[in-house]
């Protein structure tokens, strides 16, 4: 009985095991079939998450350009060009006496493809004197610098590399180092696993991995990083499936575009295309043997072998890769000796180019009107912008230096002052630089776009403009700078900054010397509603229930809004809204959206001429006279808020309009007026600018140039003291200046004749 019972139990156990194994095999088979279909469909229809690339404005190079040899080389270095003995291969240059030979890389511009092109560039002093290509004079554009990307929430960023653009040395090095049996195995390599196990046991630590390139691709593309038996089993099955359905070269190309190679903040560097830019700021096809070896070395552990943090560890790993490449005949004796002798040389910027978060913030906001953020993050768009890197860098450097100087001079706590800078084209409105704070590369609060601060005297030119538009005023009109009380506004009695009154003064002096009382008299005569309406038309900011304090700047604007206001003065009376994006292309270089310049005339050319001249005089002998550039023909206005909480300046010449704000985030006083704070920052920045005289529009027949006394507004002569040259109505009859000898007729200056 006992034997029969045991036989029955044994029979049941065998059946149970058989059924369990059978069900398990069926389940595994079904799972494998499911995986086969799912993985094949996913991989066949794979679309890499390719974030949009954002480009700066390209530098146009032509004969006669104000560009020194040193500055030209700096621009090439910025783009990742390297010096060699000939400069005849793309991405390289050669330096000779007053000469640079450079071969430009091919590049897809919005208006067409530019093939690689060798140039001979000659310099004379600080000028580019000759620019030849194949013996012919040419003008060219350098390819624009990459200044950022819009990557998705998971942080993956990459540049897709096609098989034909992948260096053979890279693919063969990957196979030799990571998976020497890649071309013969079916997704897994028993020999490789056993070999890695033996090496690791012998050395007492993990020195080799057993995963094939296909398994690594599966782990990166399909799976997470959990180390479990189930995940390893799925990795093995999925690798076999990929090998069954796809060619080796397809898998290798997918690996080259997918593998993780490093981290830059929230941005994950995937693929060798972006890795090349991140570590060396050069295209993959331009890398040398030792640079390719370093990239291959990093694959084993991007964090552990991070060359920025652990250069010695990374170099040791790189050297082992170089020796493996030599052992497999990929590089010869001379190359390996030279490569081993070189230290690791990385790009100075860890972003693969300089990133400008404040400007990128503006670009994102402009694009949000036409594009969904998800589209920008995954579809590989190419966005061409108006940023000029040399201006952006100069503005950021001037900001950091000036704030440090001001804090030391005034015994302010370190790093308590903040600043914002906007630089835009005076005529087109193109935004060339945005500084959102003192910290370079900070992605925090963007003060240039979001800091609403009281603008103070920056609004006084709008009061003057409104007065000119009323037809009752011109620049020599007399305004009484005497005590005034406004009973309809709680008996408000404004005072000048020094508490003094100057009696009758011309409108030009009221503006240039920033006289509060005289400005309020003009504003109340014109009407606060008229001034408020004009401010709204220039900035787009609605003002509800305006009060006379508006005349003195009791209005909060952002630096960007201030730049919109002053753009009308800089452009001769036209409103040209700020533009940061020029064109957006898709992956195939087809145009998705083009952003044209929008121009609208806001006030007459005559009033524009009068205001530009008034703002020039403001810089020459008014509140801007402390500038070292006050006599260069620049135009602008300083501004300060109550108790010196905000320091402002807006300055323009023929080319650029710059707005600077300095203050504290907690809005506490710092004691800096516009001329003692923001103007000093602009002065430092202006040392890097090619300043041109501000453009004064031609006068109509209704106006003529005349010399007046700045203090009194009376007619005078060019050689007389306090004489300033301004546009005035032809029929105006001014009192004569009795303090200076005069002729019988009004004389027009040489400047006036030239401008008229």
Alpha carbons 270 and 172: distance in angstroms, whole number:
19
Instruction: State how far the Cα of 728 lies from the Cα of 476, in Å rounded to an integer.
Output: 8
CA nearest to 613, candidates 635, 594, 592: 635
Q: By C-alpha distance, which of 750, 722, 731, 480 is closest to 617?
A: 722
Which of 143, 156, 178, 715 is the catalytic position?
178
Is residue 395 a contact partner of residue 433, using CB atoms and an 8 Å limit?
A: yes
Q: Are strands 82-83 and 92-96 parallel, antiparallel or unpaired?
A: parallel
Catalytic residue, chosen from 211, 351, 426, 457, is 457
457 is catalytic: yes
Provide, for the chain, the percentages of residues in helix, strand and coil under a 3-state DSSP scheme, each rounded to the nearest 5: 40, 20, 40
Check: CB of residue 700 under 8 Å from CB of residue 606. Answer: yes
Rounded CA separation 500/393 (Å): 42
Contacts of 348 (CB under 8 A, 6+ apart): none
Q: Identify any residues that bridge with 119 across adjacent strands, giving them in sequence order.
A: 102
Distance from CA of residue 10 to its chain's centroid?
77
Contacts (Cβ under 8 Å, ≥6 apart) of 498: none
Q: Give the chain's length.
A: 756
User: Of the candidates 228, 34, 312, which has an alpha carbon nearest to the alpha carbon of residue 26?
Assistant: 34
Phi and psi at residue 52, in whole multiples of 5°?
-65, 135
- Helix (H) and strand (E) counts in the chain: 23, 31
Query: 125 in the Ramachandran plot: left (φ > 0), alpha (ψ -120 to 50) or beta?
Result: left
- Chain centre distance of CA 338: 38
- Let me know if 178 is a catalytic residue: yes
The tokens of 53 are what? 């690339």
Answer for the pair 461, 511: CB distance below 8 angstroms, yes or no: yes
Those residues with Cβ within 8 angstroms of residue 400's Cβ, 6 or more apart along the chain or in another chain: 438, 440
Between CA 371 and CA 56, with CA 107 as vertex, the angle to 5 degrees is 50
Torsion region of 409: left, alpha or beta (phi above 0 gives left; psi -120 to 50 gives alpha): alpha
| Burial classification of residue 125, based on how many CB atoms lie within 10 Å of its CB (0-12 exposed, 13-18 middle, 19 or more buried) | exposed
Is the CB of residue 644 less than 8 Å from the CB of residue 671? yes
Indicate the SS3 state at residue 185.
coil
The 10 Å CB-count burial string (b at 16+, else e) for 470-489 is eeebbbbbbbbbeebeeeee
Task: Compute the distance between CA of residue 274 and CA of residue 158 in angstroms, rounded to an integer.
Answer: 5
Handedness of CA 740, 746, 750, 756 (dihedral sign): positive
φ and ψ at residue 425, rounded to 5 degrees: -65, 130
Tokens representing residue 322 in the block = 């170089």
What residues act catalytically?
A: 178, 457
């Amino acid at each position: 009985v006992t034997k029969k019972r045991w036989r029955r139990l044994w029979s049941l156990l065998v059946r149970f095991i058989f059924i369990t194994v059978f069900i398990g095999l069926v389940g595994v088979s079904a799972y494998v079939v499911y995986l086969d279909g799912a993985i094949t469909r996913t991989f066949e229809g794979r679309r890499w998450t390719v974030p949009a690339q954002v480009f700066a404005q390209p530098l146009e190079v032509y004969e006669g350009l104000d560009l020194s040899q040193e500055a030209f080389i700096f621009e090439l270095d910025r783009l990742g060009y390297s010096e060699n003995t000939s400069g005849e291969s793309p991405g390289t240059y050669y330096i000779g006496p007053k000469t640079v030979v450079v071969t430009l890389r091919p590049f897809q511009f919005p208006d067409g493809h530019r093939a690689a092109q060798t140039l001979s560039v000659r310099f004379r002093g600080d000028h580019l004197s000759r620019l030849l290509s194949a013996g012919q004079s040419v003008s060219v554009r350098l390819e624009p610098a990459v200044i950022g990307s819009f990557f998705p929430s998971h942080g993956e960023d990459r540049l897709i590399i096609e098989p034909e653009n992948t260096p053979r040395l890279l693919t063969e090095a990957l196979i030799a180092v990571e998976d020497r049996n890649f071309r013969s195995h079916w997704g897994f390599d028993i020999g490789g696993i056993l070999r890695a196990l033996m090496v690791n046991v012998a050395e007492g630590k993990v020195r080799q991995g057993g995963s094939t390139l296909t398994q690594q691709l599966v782990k990166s593309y399909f799976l997470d990083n959990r180390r479990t038996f189930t995940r390893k089993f799925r990795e093995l099955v999925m690798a076999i499936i990929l090998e069954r359905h796809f060619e080796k070269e397809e898998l290798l190309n997918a690996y080259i575009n997918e593998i993780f190679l490093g981290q830059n903040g929230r941005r994950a560097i995937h693929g060798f295309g972006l890795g090349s830019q991140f570590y060396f700021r050069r295209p993959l096809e331009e890398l040398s043997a030792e640079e390719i070896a370093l990239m291959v070395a990093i694959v084993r552990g991007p964090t552990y072998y991070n060359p920025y943090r652990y250069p010695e560890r990374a170099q040791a790993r790189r050297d082992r890769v170089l020796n493996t490449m030599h052992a497999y005949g990929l590089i010869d004796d001379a190359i390996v000796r030279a490569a081993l002798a070189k230290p690791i040389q990385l790009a100075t910027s860890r972003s693969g180019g300089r990133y400008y978060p404040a400007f990128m913030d503006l670009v994102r906001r402009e694009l949000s009107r036409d594009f969904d953020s998800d589209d920008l993050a995954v579809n590989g768009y190419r966005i061409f912008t108006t940023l000029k890197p040399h201006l952006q860098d100069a503005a950021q450097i001037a900001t950091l230096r000036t704030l440090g100087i001001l804090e030391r001079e005034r015994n302010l706590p370190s790093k308590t002052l903040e600043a914002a800078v906007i630089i835009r084209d005076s005529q087109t409105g193109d935004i060339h630089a945005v500084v959102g704070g003192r910290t370079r590369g900070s992605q925090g609060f963007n003060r240039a776009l979001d800091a609403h601060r009281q603008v103070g005297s920056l609004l006084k030119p709008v009061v003057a403009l409104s007065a000119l538009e009323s037809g009752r005023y011109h620049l020599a009109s007399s305004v009484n700078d005497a005590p005034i009380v406004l009973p309809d506004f709680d008996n408000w009695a404004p005072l000048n900054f020094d508490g003094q009154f100057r009696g009758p003064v011309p409108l030009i002096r009221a503006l240039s010397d920033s006289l509060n009382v005289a400005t309020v008299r003009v504003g109340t005569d014109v009407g606060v509603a008229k001034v408020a309406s004009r401010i709204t038309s220039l900035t787009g900011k609605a003002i509800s229930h305006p009060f006379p304090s508006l005349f003195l700047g009791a209005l909060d604007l952002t630096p960007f809004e201030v730049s919109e206001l002053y753009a009308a003065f800089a452009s001769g009376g036209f409103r040209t809204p700020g533009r940061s994006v020029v064109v957006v292309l898709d992956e195939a270089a087809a145009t998705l959206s083009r952003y044209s310049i929008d121009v609208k005339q806001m006030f007459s050319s005559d009033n524009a001429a009068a205001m530009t001249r008034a703002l020039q005089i403001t810089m020459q002998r008014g509140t801007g006279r402390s500038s070292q550039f006050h006599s260069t023909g620049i135009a602008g206005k300083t501004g300060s808020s109550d108790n010196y909480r905000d320091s402002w300046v807006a300055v323009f010449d023929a080319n650029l309009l710059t707005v600077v704000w300095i203050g504290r985030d907690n809005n506490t006083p710092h004691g800096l007026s516009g001329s003692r704070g923001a103007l000093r920052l602009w002065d430092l920045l202006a040392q890097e600018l090619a300043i041109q005289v501000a453009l004064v529009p031609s006068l109509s027949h209704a106006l003529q140039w005349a010399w007046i006394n700045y203090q009194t507004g009376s007619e005078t002569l060019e050689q007389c003291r306090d004489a300033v040259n301004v546009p005035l109505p032809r029929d105006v009859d001014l009192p004569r200046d009795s303090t200076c000898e005069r002729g019988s007729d009004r004389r027009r200056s040489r400047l006036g004749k030239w401008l008229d």
